[in-house]
Amino acid sequence: MKVCPTCGKANEDAAAFCNGCGTNLSLAVTGTPVPVGAQQTSGMAVASLIFGLFFFIFPAPVLAVILGHVSNSQIRKSAGRLKGAGMSLAGLILGYVGIALVPIILIIAAVAIPNLVKAKMTANEANAVYNLRNIATAAVKYQSAYNTYPSGLSALGPPLNGKAPDADGAGLINGMLMRGSESGYEFIYQPVSSHNDGVFDGFDLTANPITPGTTGNRHFHVDESLVISVERDRPAGRNSPPLN
């Protein structure tokens, strides 16, 4: 019997070509055929396919290509002992597709990420103005009810220990605003008194980005007049230009 050096199939001694894969049998060795059960799947071919399936995650496509080429070479030289050529080919194709997509993904990311950050900052700034106005309006309501502006944001927050709303917890803003931060902005409240009678006749409330340039760019201020003012690169105050 002639054993095909490529696929290991047994052929008649007179056969010129393998009846399994068509290989020229002029160099074939006569003897016992290689058992079919001796074939093993190339581990590198399997790895190439797995990395190829994740071609959209760098560096998976590069590893898929490298392992695909190495496994193909090993399979060709194994004289039929290794299989998995189809898997390594699929890994190679997916890997090259992933490598081709990398520049496109980088271009899209370079354009999209700054726009997303800018959109997020714009949304944070709009939310900061909204919350600033709500806190200032709550402070004015508090003054109407208790004849003084609140001593701090906690006095505007939910009532304490389940009690009815009072001067220590008027229930005019939510707990998040009471703690002084929301949506990337920090709110700082300062009561103002022009007398020494313990009664506050005004307040200053500022909203500043927690991380300037990331959570927001503009700084805002409001007082008892309810006029919101704005600065771009520094905290705003009573003399800052009004928000348009």
Q: What is the 3-state secondary structure (H, E, C) of the chain?
A: CEECCCCCCEECCCCCECCCCCCEHHHCEECCCCCHHHCEECHHHHHHHHHHHCCCCCCHHHHHHHHHHHHHHHHHHCCCCEECHHHHHHHHHHHHHHHHHHHHHHHHHHHHHHHHHHHHHHHHHHHHHHHHHHHHHHHHHHHHHHCCCCCCHHHHCCCHHHCCCECCECCCCCHHHHCCEECCEEEEEEEECCCCCCCCCEEEEEEEECCECCCECCEEEEECCCCCEEECCCCCCCCCCECC
pLDDT for residue 32:
45
- pLDDT tier at 33 (50, 70, 90 boundaries)? very low
Enter the pTM of the model.
0.58
Spatial CB neighbours of 8, under 8 Å, sequence gap ≥ 6: 33, 34, 36, 38, 39, 79, 80, 81
pLDDT for residue 34:
46
Q: What is the mean predicted confidence (pLDDT) over 146-152?
A: 94
Length of the chain: 244
Q: What is the mean predicted confidence (pLDDT) over 68-75?
A: 88
What's phi and psi for 17, nearest 5 deg?
A: -130, 150
pLDDT for residue 31:
47
Helix-helix angle 60-77:43-53, to 10 degrees: 150
For residues 56 and 208, which has the higher predicted lDDT (pLDDT)? Answer: 208
* 218 has pLDDT over 90: yes
Q: Are 236 and 221 in contact (CB under 8 A)?
A: yes
The percentage of the chain sitting over the pLDDT mark of 70, rounded to a whole number, equals 93
* 196 has pLDDT over 80: no
Mean pLDDT comparison of 59-63, 103-107, 146-150, highest-scoring range = 146-150
Q: Are 1 and 30 in contact (CB under 8 A)?
A: yes
Nearest-angstrom CA–CA distance, 131 and 181: 10
For residues 212 and 110, which has the higher predicted lDDT (pLDDT)? Answer: 212
**CA 183 to chain CA centroid, nearest Å:** 18
Q: What is the mean pLDDT of the chain?
A: 87
Mean pLDDT comparison of 60-64, 117-121, 202-206, highest-scoring range = 202-206
pLDDT for residue 111:
83
Q: Are 55 and 26 in contact (CB under 8 A)?
A: no
* 147 has pLDDT over 70: yes
- pLDDT tier at 106 (50, 70, 90 boundaries)? confident
- pLDDT tier at 27 (50, 70, 90 boundaries)? low
